[in-house]
A and B are shown apart, each in its own frame.
Chain A
Amino acid sequence: MRRVLIVTLTLTLAVGCGRETRAPQSTNTAVDDNTPQDGGTLIRRLPADVATLNPVIPTSRYDRLVMNYIFTPLVALDIDLKPSPGLATNWDISADGLDYVFHLDPKATFSDGTPVRASDVLFTFKKIVDPTTEAAQVAAGFDRIDMTRTRVIDDHTIAVGFKEAFAPQLTKFNDVLVMPEHVYSKGDFKSGYNFNAIGSGPYKLVRRVAEQEIVLERREDYWTRKPYLKTVIFKPIIDFNTGWNALKRGDIDESELTSDIWMMNSTRPELQKDIDFRRFYYLSVNTIAWNNRGAILSDKRVRRALAQCVDLKSVINNLYHGTARAMNGPFTPDQWAYNPTVPVIEFDPVAAQHALNSIGWLDTDHDGVLDKDHKPLKIDLLIFTGNPSSQQFGQLLQSELKKIGVVMTLTPMEPTALIQRILAGNYDSAYLSWDLDPDPDPYGLLHSSQWPPHGQNVVFYKNPETDALIDAGRKEFNQSKRADIYRKLHEIAAADQPYTWTLQVSVKWGINKRVRGVKESKGWGLFLWYPGEFDWWIPASKRTHDAPAPAPGTPQPR
């Protein structure tokens, strides 16, 4: 019975994929296209060329995409972004949460054959923690490390000590991509390893040609479950339209898509035949940052009233064609800390106007603008130049506010200047988007100790109640108690509106249907979680990037 089923399935697939004209290498029809097959080449798109493959100093998420194939993190994150075994197969955390002991997989080796030792992990920590490395992104996760209690116990065991117990700490070990000490301790660490990478990951770097390609080959000596794909090639293609065209032609196998490209093409049947159009949410949220110390905006009723003039439904339907979802607080609906009972602020400009009137904002001089104590209700919104969707959002908000007598001026600024102004507190409001960490702890954004220059609480929010909740959440290792704390925090933050959390915009992706095993995680999309892209495979019959075996004596193209 089963054999009949398999044959039927194979026949159906063969008929369905009849347009594939490349002759199969063998007539082995027992290989069916539903179970993963070993081998094949995948071509991926990079939206910008990689600046460096040094695992401690990445400057963009694109660098990390490539590094994920070459290095292994100490702790991996699974499909729900929860810690799972990486280079460390298991770990112990002391009762007071101050000491971690990691047990490394004894089989682990680097791509040059040398075994991974605890000393390599210690070396990696030292590099991260050393300020002169300028590991700007990774170092923040380890600013409480106690290097005196961080030591090698034996070749496959390492102890890491901290000065403070910190519940999110475990997820930070996902940023520790272990380097071989005998390689990286030589030469100039900061500039000598941009494109010279040796790690313990399943692939090794074979070739990199600037602006052209990065070629990775699977290590046949890989020490644990090998990924299916033999070769992975990254192609830097900056322009989204060009990337889309390349995907359509089959020159690349996956690409991120803009909302407009997705809207125009995802429902076309002739494209759906070959391309899997996917949409999912990253841990990335758009917010209006209000300067809580500003004269007008320090009153949370004003902030709430302004938030009521954001027509989220119209933005979602018209600007994003339904491919975004409303936010109502510091957590996204995917996160376990999210409180589903907190309501989204309704679009109600009439109520907003009444609210403003009731706290004293009236148009006393009949110039069409609300005022109080002879000062008009004028707010400036900073937006990033070169970002069309935030400019559109700003203009929409401006026109809604105008209808109730609030003047919002838009000031586009180039990114660094804008960031400088916000950090200096020299602004009214700004439209920002934040990339969130896998752990929901909102310390950096909401705690009063994190006012710039100490942290990223750029709205200068201060509420002792939320401070206490945040502190408690950071120390609470019991998951369900932590969830309760954050749900309460969500309620209060939504009521206070230090930020107005507006939208989570879905990320759109196009993947060639010949690629199988593609799954989405909760918040990181298709990549960087484990096993993620390592489970992708391409059936032998569909491997169009691999040239068929040449006749003997034929010269190979270089």
Chain B
Amino acid sequence: MKLQESGSWRDIWRRFRRSAIAMIALVYVVVVAFIALFAPLIANTKPLIMRTASGLQFPSAGDFFGEKEGIEQLPQGDVVLRAPIPHSPNEVDVAHRLNAPEHEHHFGTDDLGRDVLARLVHGARVSLTVALLAAVIALLVGSFFGAIAGFYGGWVDWVVSRLIEIVLCFPFLFLVLGIVALFRPSVYTIVIALGVTTWTDAARYVRGEIMRIRELDFAQAARASGARDARIIFRHLLPNAMAPALVSANFSVATAILTESALSFLGIGVPLPAPTWGGILSVAELHIEYAWWLALYPGIAIFTTVAAFNVVGDRFREALDPRG
């Protein structure tokens, strides 16, 4: 994985495009990201467009950054367009709990009568947000440590290697549980816990790359020109070392989705009542004998998303290789 030899980003894209499966996976990832981004418009009891006395209004758009905490009144008027899925993820309806899939609820309802499909749609938002943020943190932390270890070598490298070893030897669940228990459980705690425990891969890649390229011509030139260390690392070396780190970041996202859903499944992930794919599965376990829809759909969601990310990441890695 040598960016120098990989050619330009356009070359990489060209090589990537050659695989039909990878393209399908990429499209899928984009679709999921789209769903995650526009979840409040896709699944909401509030209509998309209403015609009121003062013209057109867009009630569900107000939820874009999260459902409001207080009471909400719909404006007076006629509904022009409902949301494609006319249910909210937190619309509790206890009288209709554990209903099998039917016209009103395409994927059935959960143990509090909430629409499973709506929760899946909003769950995409939570899962992807957590996974992306965690991957970004892992990438940043890993790149930093990898860069200083690779650049300075010597005792810095030694300390970083020991640090990596400690993190690797640490029982992962313990660390996550500890961090989550320590702070108030929230999306951010989970993100930090995940990021802090998964940066080692990126660190290793970046370290290896930096060590390899610091002896190359352009790096020598930069040093000869008297540039400060930090500048050399961040402006010259890192950008060239990032490609393999990006590959690992991609896999980080996939792993983070899996891990976050596992944590939610165990009950120590993103707290209620936020919809998460793993959270629905944890309810499914209790009702496994008669509510198969609770187990099937969230699992498919996790599986397909993670698979898509994995396929994209793998193809990307191969595309970096000029022979690919």
Contact = CB atoms under 8 A, between A and B. Distances in A.
Chains A and B touch each other in the complex, with CB atoms below 8 Å apart? yes
Nearest to A258: B286
A395 B184 contact: no
Contacts of A414: 177, 181, 267-268
A404 B273 CA distance: 19
Contacts of A314: 94
A192 to B, nearest CB: 31
A369 B72 CA distance: 9
B286 A388 contact: yes
B71 A412 contact: no
A142 B48 CA distance: 66
Given A264-B290, A318-B94, A369-B70, A413 B185 contact: yes
B240 interface: no
A392 B273 CA distance: 9
Contact of A388 (B111, B177, B185): B111
A319 interface: yes
Given A318-B95, A318-B97, A368-B68, A391 B272 contact: yes
A378 B69 CA distance: 9
B267 A385 contact: yes
B271 interface: yes
A388 B283 contact: yes
A479 interface: no
B290 A398 contact: no
A417 B181 contact: yes
Interface in A61-76: none
B307 interface: no
Nearest to A315: B94
A381 B272 CA distance: 11
A315 B92 CA distance: 12
B112 interface: yes
B90 interface: yes
Contacts of A407: 69-70
Given A314-B94, A398-B273, A411 B185 contact: yes
B287 interface: yes
Interface residues of A, number: 34
B94 A241 contact: no
B71 A404 contact: yes
A177 to B, nearest CB: 35
A403 B68 CA distance: 12
A484 interface: no
Interface string B275-291: 00000000100111110
Interface string A383-415: 101101001101110110011110100111110
Contacts of A403: 71
A130 interface: no
Nearest to B273: A395
A361 B197 CA distance: 45
A395 B89 CA distance: 12
* Most chain B beta-carbon contacts within 10 A, residue among A314, A319, A392, A414: A392
Interface string A355-389: 00000000100011100000000100001011010
B70 A368 contact: yes
Contacts of B69: 368-369, 378, 402, 407
A412 B185 contact: yes
Interface of B is mostly: loop
A388 B110 CA distance: 12
Interface string B45-71: 000000000000000000000001111
Nearest to B287: A260
A260 B71 CA distance: 33
A393 B115 CA distance: 18
A395 B272 contact: yes
B266 to A, nearest CB: 8
Given A241-B289, A318-B95, A369-B70, A386 B272 contact: no
Interface string A131-170: 0000000000000000000000000000000000000000
A394 B185 contact: no
A402 B272 contact: no
A319 B283 CA distance: 14
Contacts of B273: 395, 398, 410
A541 B94 CA distance: 46
Nearest to A378: B69
A396 B289 CA distance: 25
Contacts of B268: 385, 414
Contact of A386 (B71, B267, B290): B267
Contacts of A392: 111-112
B70 A412 contact: no
Contacts of B97: 318
Nearest to A421: B184
A396 B112 contact: yes
A178 B151 CA distance: 72
Contacts of A383: 272
Contacts of A413: 181, 185
B193 to A, nearest CB: 14
A403 B90 CA distance: 13
A407 B288 CA distance: 33
A412 B271 CA distance: 6
A394 B273 CA distance: 9
Given A369-B69, A369-B70, A392-B112, A399 B90 contact: yes
Given A388-B111, A402-B71, 5 more contacts: A368-B70, A368-B72, A392-B111, A392-B112, A399-B92
28 contacts: A260-B286, A260-B287, A318-B94, A318-B95, A319-B94, A363-B70, A367-B70, A378-B69, A383-B272, A385-B267, A385-B268, A391-B272, A395-B90, A395-B92, A395-B112, A396-B94, A399-B90, A399-B92, A402-B69, A402-B70, A404-B71, A405-B70, A407-B70, A410-B271, A411-B184, A412-B185, A412-B272, A414-B181
